[in-house]
Structure 1
Amino acid sequence: AHLVNFKGTDSVSALVAAKRWYNSNEMPAFSIPAAEHSTITAWGKENEKFAYENMIDQFAGENKIYSVVSDSYNLWNAVSHIWGEQLKEKVIEKGGRLVIRPDSGEPIEVVCRTLEILADKFGYRVNSKGYKVLPDFIRIIQGDGINSNSIEAILNAIMQAGFSVENVNFGMGGGLLQQINRDTMGWAMKASAICINGEWKAIYKDPITSQAKRSKKGILALTKSENEWQTVRIEELNDKENQLRTIFLNGKLLIDESFEQVRQRAE
């Protein structure tokens, strides 16, 4: 579902699903070289600079993007002194784009402070809307503590601090894959009609203890107007077109669409 609107992922299973079940004719998504904590800490704390330098040597270059997690020990030292001083010229000379990844702490504070340090060390320009933009060769990615609510709060804080949101990327694989439960989407599918001896009968639930759990009844249709979608009973459809389509019927797949078709419709 995430890949319908995005083309970046580190979840190989998502690629397999898009190709296997939705007959994708192209690579559904891509990733970039990215350091993980163990690939930094394996060098030892005393060699943190060399761990980062190795990422530059291995993955930097024209039109290339690489990400380096930088909070294994002291994020502020890493951003200010290692990236901002010791490796600054090498980052610039090798080309491409370095994406620094903080991965702990309070996201709003960490992102804004990291932006301030990078702007001080690498400079910035001011865009047409008056916000600061880091040089093209350096950006931030925040993946810790990210969900749909926290992203909005972080974006607001970035702008209040005077920075453009184009400075920051977000990763939320952990949230998408693990921070879910049966109520995540705020809806449930219930039986609304049953056929007994050839006759259809409307059924529904209406708990006295929770009106929010009352379900719709009857055979349902979906209509589309200029501003909204509306669920109605089939007998209330009148001259409107039912937007629902039968995908599965009695165990058979009736409509088999590609992943590219789904993406195109989502646009």
Structure 2
Amino acid sequence: MRVTNNMITYNFLTSLNKSLQRQNEIQEKLADGKQLHRPSDDPVKTIRSLRANVSLVENEQYSQHLSDAVSWMDNTDGAMSSLSSIVTRFKELTISADGTKPAAAYEAIAAEMDGLINQAIVVGNSKIGDRYLFSGQQDKTQPFVRNGNTVTYQGDNNKISMQIKPGVTTPTQDSVNLTGKDIFGDNNEMLQHMIDIKNQLQTGSPDLDVVLNTGLANLEADHNKLLEVYTQLGARMSSYQLAQSMLENANVVITGNVAANDDLNIPKAIIDFKTSETVYKNALSVGSRIMPPSLVDFLK
């Protein structure tokens, strides 16, 4: 094959351009510390990176849901603890109405009970941000309103679900809230039982059989239901905290995998860049000597 000056020039410039392109690619990677900028850089690693980043985004979303859920349940836990303390104190006052006290003492006990009923309603209207804890899905509506001896529940009995894993959310597994029915029973029966006892003592001459037998038995049953719901909340809260910990660990692993897959080996890249730079400069030097002389060279 006949080798012409044009062929020599073309081959030299092609090789020189490849060397410069290689140098530019390394410089691009060094600029941001990433070895993948386009699928052609490494198709296998690109697919792996896309999958890992999708998993990371999903896990971060679930982690946010879990954080919100745990925060909601943590506030609910505090409210439930307060309610339990209120009912305990109410039972103590009920037991103290033992038939040995004057009318004024019963009236004083009734006054304290009335304050406890109001406290229970205040706790029932607890909020996190601008959302009520015990209104069901009507969480922008104040759940409990007292008008004299009547307490009205204005929320609903629907659960709020937060998705913490792939798939469809279910109220029984993914609910984070308790409703008014959960804490005070159907038609606010616990509050009504408290009001009934208070009304008896308020007269100054209560029917102690109603107070110490029927009333106290109702309170015990109400308290037991409250504690059962409280226990269920604690168990669900523990499972959410465990899931949150697992997702956080998974995020650390995935982030590490993404870094191992995408991040550039800086020391090696610097060596490659300096090597490429040296090769390019040497090519220029050699090329200036091996390029065939042209008419311009003779005219000089």
With structure 2 as the length reference, what TM-score do the two structures score?
0.20
Larger helix percent: 2
Which protein has the larger Cα radius of gyration, Structure 1 or Structure 2?
2
Higher RCO structure, 1 or 2 (CA under 8 Å, sep 6+)? 2
Larger strand percent: 1
With structure 1 as the length reference, what TM-score do the two structures score?
0.22
